[in-house]
């Protein structure tokens, strides 16, 4: 049976105004993600953005957990990519072997933000593990300045689970597509003491 969750397309900078349920979606997604991590990472406890010994931490979603189009699918340093071909293609995958999310990381994804004014994509489709989600036509997003797709229920991208974002690309050029959500880190020191932009 297919995924029947809905979504809203709105202005990224006005998500809270145009989708008033956004806070509820984020709160539920975060609670579910933390419960998932507590269950699987026992005996670690949740430590928020400043975890101590014996705790896992929380951050924004880091681009280094994803591979992009360039440099033979190396992990992204920023969300900026260059679309160098048109048509159907994979534009983002998990950065670990087989397009999976790296071990020791979990992502709660509430949506996707398109951070360039020029929207070069007409459709997207995601696959999380063996679950193929329906195609989403985003042509109406071209009327917005930096649009976002917000899911009415978020998705959990679990560690060692595959993630693929496919798109139908209309024109070549720069694109910034960033997941909206939170990331949990089993080994927070990897983020606290490493250089900005370093591989995770």
Average pLDDT over residues 50-54: 92
Residue pLDDT, tens place only, 80-91? 999 999 999 999
Judge whether 7 lies within some domain: no
Number of domains in the chain: 1
* % the chain with pLDDT above 90: 66
Query: 76 in a domain, yes or no?
Result: yes
What does the alpha-carbon distance between residue 36 and residue 33 come to, in Å, rounded to a whole number?
5
Residue 2 falls inside a structural domain = no
pLDDT of residue 74: 82
Look up the domain containing 47 and give its range. 13-187
Choice between 199 and 109, residue whose per-residue pLDDT is larger = 109
- Confidence (pLDDT) at 73: 63
Tell me what pLDDT residue 169 has.
Answer: 95
CB–CB of 182/36 below 8 Å? no
195 falls within a domain: no
Structure token pair of residue 28: 């539920």
- What does pTM read for this prediction? 0.90
Higher per-residue confidence, 162 vs 18: 162
Residue 145 in domain: yes
Residue 123 resides in a domain: yes
Residue 85 lies in a domain: yes
Residue 200 domain-assigned (yes or no): no
Q: What is the model's pLDDT at position 9?
A: 85
- Quick check: 39 and 174 in contact, CB under 8 A? no
């Amino acid at each position: 049976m297919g995924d029947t969750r809905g979504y809203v397309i709105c202005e990224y900078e006005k998500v809270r105004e145009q989708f008033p349920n956004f806070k509820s979606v984020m709160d539920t997604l975060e609670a579910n993600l933390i419960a998932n991590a507590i269950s699987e990472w026992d005996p670690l406890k949740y430590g928020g953005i400043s975890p101590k010994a014996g705790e896992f931490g929380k951050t924004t979603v880091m681009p280094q957990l994803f591979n992009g189009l360039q440099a033979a699918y190396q992990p992204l340093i920023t969300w900026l990519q260059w679309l160098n071909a048109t048509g159907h293609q994979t534009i983002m995958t998990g950065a670990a072997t087989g397009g999976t999310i790296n071990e020791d990381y979990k992502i709660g994804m509430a949506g996707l933000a398109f951070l360039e004014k020029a929207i070069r994509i007409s459709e997207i489709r995601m696959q999380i593990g063996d679950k193929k989600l329906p195609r989403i036509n985003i042509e109406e997003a071209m009327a917005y300045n930096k649009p976002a797709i917000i899911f009415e229920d978020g998705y959990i991208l679990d560690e060692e689970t595959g993630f693929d974002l496919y798109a139908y690309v209309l024109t070549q050029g720069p694109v910034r597509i960033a997941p909206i959500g939170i990331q949990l880190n089993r080994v927070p020191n990897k983020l606290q003491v490493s250089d900005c932009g370093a591989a995770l």
